[in-house]
Amino acid sequence: MKTPVIVFSAGQLIEFHGSGKYFHILTAADPVSVELKRSDAVIATADNVGRGYKNKPAGGFNGFSIKSATAQSIQIAVGDGDDEYNQVTGSVDIIGQQGAFSEVQKSVTNVNQVVAAANALRKYFLIQNNSAQVLRVTVDGVAATATRGIRIQPGGYYEPIGRVPSGAINAIMELADATANNVEVIEG
């Protein structure tokens, strides 16, 4: 595969001779027009195409021409096999995979309490029950009760996957528990 850079003046048409099975415009600031040829006959035409245009004509080609209306440099890829040249530009940001976390211990009894205040920027949440009692947790801002909320068994935890609640998170023990720091709360 060859990946030459071609410099054009405004309105210039450049002819190329040589065979290939694959044609791809890798970079172009402005649109160009392309003709792929076989035995001096045009077999494919593309007008006003730019970066990313590619063509793999059946039977290949033995020449091509490119015309640019503007002065620019473009880069193309021409190959003889089934190979392709994919080039990604830009950047990728992965949200929610890093950042500061807070970890606190809460003493939860059989009276509802907010264990995590509403937080519109919350990306992660985990609550672990370190009590010998069953913990109930609500994630919609409404008070937890001994019969309402997600049940977390002793030693268990709740970690939302996908969407993380942004409202206040409430917790209560189903039965009284006076153990200090019996719930671990981690958010980020």
Instruction: Name all domains of the chain by residue range, CATH numbers in brackets.
Output: 5-79 (2.60.120), 102-187 (2.60.120.770)
- pLDDT of 9-47, one tens digit each? 999 999 999 889 989 999 999 999 999 999 989 999 999
Q: Please state, rounded to an integer, the average pLDDT across all residues of the chain.
A: 90
Tell whether the model's pLDDT for residue 140 goes beyond 80.
yes
The stretch 80-109 carries a mean pLDDT of 75
* Token pair belonging to 32: 């160009």
CA distance 80 to 103: 58
User: What pLDDT is recorded for position 18?
Assistant: 85
Give pairs for 91-96: CB < 8 Å, separation 24+.
95/123, 96/123, 96/124
pTM over 0.75: no
* Token pair belonging to 77: 């890829």
Confidence category of residue 178, pLDDT binned at 50, 70, 90 = confident
With the CA atoms of 177, 179, 181 and 183 taken in that order, what torsion angle do they form, in degrees rounded to the nearest 10?
Answer: -40
